[in-house]
Amino acid sequence: MKIVTCALALALVGPVLLTHVGPVLLDRPALGQSSNALHVCHAGSLLAAFTQVEGEFKKQHPEVVITDTSGGSVDLVRRFAAGRLECDVLAPADHLVIDAMLKPARLADFSIVFASGRMVLAYLATDLKAKALPVSGAFAPPSSVPQVGAGWYDVLTAPGVRISGAHPFMDPGGYRAHMIFELAQAHYKVPGLQNALLQHYQVNVADPSASAPALGKDFSFQLTYEHNAARTATQDPSYRYAALPPEIELSRGGEFLDSPVSITIPGLGIPGSAASVTIKASRVEWGLTIPTKSRNRENAVAFVASLLGAAGSAALTTNGPAPMRPARVTRQDFDRLPQALRNLTTKE
């Protein structure tokens, strides 16, 4: 499936600010000049882990003022490229966002893959529409997670059922859901399944003035990251999630790695950049970079070192997604890494 358009939509998840992001100042330090500031921009799915890492970093560097911005990864990248958001560290939910969007625009010259996970199907045990979902196995995460049974997609395409997700042009969670739909059609060999699932897909737009759409009320199913689902399950006794077949869940294995499935989304929207970019279906892996325009590079390198070290490993193990130790870079990117980060990564 390929989607190309010039119209942009709002992301499912708007920015979450842990400290106030004020207007752009004209007297900021010159490029490359370090200050006591650090602007960390990351996927919303990293919020819990990064909050913990930032707390540990502040203990070691009390003089550094951290500004944290989280949200839809593609949205963050576009805002950064347009000069509307300052980022010294950028960590999207898909490392390919860096490779496909920032590197060609010379806004980044390396990407580090540091965490992994998978997509799961979430629902409420109390939702009448979800009660028909065939699953096998006990729900007792993390030791036991049920598996969807045969015909699960028939329940998702039943009349009146809605599947919630982010906009695929704004967030990897959104385009990964669309990729799963296409992979499901190919795997089960059901003509029209992708389109049937898309007809039930509901983009939930962040609106601070309105209450957020609710699972079990405004929609019955959601494709989400497992670590997010696991955290919600500890807070809501009726919350459930089930594993999808390995061929389509975008995890460590699966035939999707050899598939032609991809999605084409609008580019950065800045002069000289491509009007659209194509992102291939790949494993669910989070990436990060220190943008070439970082104004606080020394602080950024120190923060990434902390993230790739013991503090980051502890935070990711506790909150998810799963840390990759050591983190991974391409051989070409390894030579572009700051020296302090090289012994924390491995060349693939």
Separation between Cα atoms, residue 72 and residue 43, nearest integer Å: 6
- The mean pLDDT value of the chain amounts to 89
> What pLDDT, in 10s, does the model give residues 218-227?
999 999 999 9
Angle at Cα 310 formed by Cα 305 and Cα 315, nearest 5°? Answer: 100
pLDDT for 257 equals 67
264 domain residue, yes or no: no
Residues 204 and 163: beta-carbon distance below 8 Å = no
Q: At 206, is the pLDDT very low, low, confident or very high (cuts 50, 70, 90)?
A: low
263 domain residue, yes or no: no
pLDDT for 3 equals 41
* Domain final position from 226, 257, 288: 257
5 domain residue, yes or no: no
State both tokens at 245.
Answer: 């077949």
**What total of structural domains would you count in the chain?**
2
Question: Does the structure show a pLDDT above 60 at 14?
Answer: no
* Domain final position from 216, 231, 257: 257
Are 137 and 218 part of one and the same domain? yes
Are 98 and 127 part of one and the same domain? no
Are 88 and 183 part of one and the same domain? no
Are 238 and 251 part of one and the same domain? yes
Are 142 and 98 part of one and the same domain? no
- Phi (first) and psi of residue 297, to 5 degrees: -65, -40
Q: In 10 A of CB 247, how many CB atoms?
A: 17
Separation between Cα atoms, residue 334 and residue 25, nearest integer Å: 33
Q: At 34, is the pLDDT very low, low, confident or very high (cuts 50, 70, 90)?
A: low
Are 223 and 277 part of one and the same domain? no
Separation between Cα atoms, residue 266 and residue 275, nearest integer Å: 6
Q: In 10 A of CB 314, how many CB atoms?
A: 15
pLDDT for 254 equals 61
Are 252 and 131 part of one and the same domain? yes
Residues 81 and 269: beta-carbon distance below 8 Å = yes
Domain that holds residue 185: 119-257
Q: At 207, is the pLDDT very low, low, confident or very high (cuts 50, 70, 90)?
A: low
Are 192 and 209 part of one and the same domain? yes
Separation between Cα atoms, residue 166 and residue 190, nearest integer Å: 25
Three-class SS state of 161: coil
State both tokens at 209.
Answer: 């003035």
Q: In 10 A of CB 228, how many CB atoms?
A: 22
The size of the chain, in residues, is: 348
**Residue listed under structure tokens 């739909």:** 181
Q: In what order do the strands lie in the sheet with 16-17?
A: 16-17, 65-71, 37-43, 89-91
Q: What is the DSSP string of 45-112?
A: GGHHHHHHHHHHHHHH-TT-EEEEEEE-HHHHHHHHHTTSS--SEEE-SSHHHIIIIITTTTS-S--E
pLDDT for 2 equals 42
Separation between Cα atoms, residue 323 and residue 320, nearest integer Å: 8
* Domain final position from 209, 232, 257: 257
Are 179 and 222 part of one and the same domain? yes
3 domain residue, yes or no: no
218 domain residue, yes or no: yes
Determine the average pLDDT of the residues in 183-188.
Answer: 94
Are 150 and 219 part of one and the same domain? yes
Are 146 and 129 part of one and the same domain? yes
Determine the average pLDDT of the residues in 95-122.
Answer: 97
81 domain residue, yes or no: yes
Three-class SS state of 286: strand
302 domain residue, yes or no: yes
Are 277 and 221 part of one and the same domain? no
What is the domain-level CATH number for residue 301? 3.40.190.10
